[in-house]
Structure 1
Amino acid sequence: MHHNNQLSSFSTSTQASNDLDLSTKTCVPCNSKEMKPMTEDAAHSLIPQVSEWNLVNEGGSLKLTRSWKVKSFNKGLEFFRVIADLAEAQGHHPDLHLVGWNNVTIEIWTHSVGGLTENDFILAAKINELNVHGLLRKKASD
């Protein structure tokens, strides 16, 4: 009987590990010559894994963007501090915008290749996992 339990718990854990989560991966150094930006198709296949991020094409360069509304200008700066610590740890730095005192937009792309790489999706997934709820405005119910 005990043996069966072990089997079933084993099968559920392998199930989970097959679906390797982007947020558990680490950014790889982007200075390698072989690194090329991914195609729009590849980007579209990954975008469902980073909820609330949008794919934008700026003059032929793909970028990931996501916006938040923060409670105050200072909370926006705190938000950026949290993002900065993550970016430093990953060695991959997003573009940060704080507009109109409480609108925060983050753009992620791999500057060295002029487009998107898996690193960008990894960073977006990790940003999605940050606990920043205390810094954000409650969604206006409209």
Structure 2
Amino acid sequence: MADLTSKKCVPCDSKDIRPMSEQSANELLAQVQGWNLLSEGGVMKLHRSCKVKSFTKGLEFFQLVADVAEAEGHHPDLHLVGWNNVKIDIWTHSVGGLTENDFILAAKINSLHVEHLLRRKAVA
């Protein structure tokens, strides 16, 4: 199986593209660490949240994600909740569910070097 980061998102305007099953989504989920499946209104989505160091670091994070999304032609929903809670939801809007494009984008977001923007987790 090819690494998702080496793949390119395909145009979503094809009538042949259908949302994947939950089983298929769970199989690909293992390749995008830190992401979870979320069902909202019957629509399956990829979801990830993290904390950033500051409001402006959240905006920097979003700009890096936006650059990847534009390059792929596949755009996530980005939320900055409060001053430092970043939430990202990805799904293929045109099919009302998940496709391989969503996992490709999630993998590419995971490959971004954003450690300098994120809050360190407290040691238990």
Q: Does residue 93 of structure 1 match 2:75?
A: yes
Q: Does residue 110 of structure 1 match 2:92?
A: yes
Q: Which one has the largest radius of gyration?
A: 1
For residues 1-142 of structure 1, the aligned pairs below 5 Å read 19-142=1-124
Q: Tell me which stretches of 4 or more aligned residues in structure 1 moved more than 4 Å.
A: none
User: How many angstroms does 1:34 deviate by?
Assistant: 1.0
User: How many angstroms does 1:54 deviate by?
Assistant: 0.1
More RCO (CA 8 Å, sep 6+): 2
Instruction: Encode CA deviations 1:86-108: one digit per residue, 9 max, x unaligned.
Output: 00000000000100100001000
Higher helix share: 1
Unaligned runs of at least 5 residues, structure 2: none
Count of aligned residue pairs for this structure pair: 124
Q: What TM-score comes out, normalization by structure 1 length?
A: 0.85
Structure 2: how far apart are the matches of 1:123 and 1:60? 21
Structure 2: how far apart are the matches of 1:82 and 1:67? 15
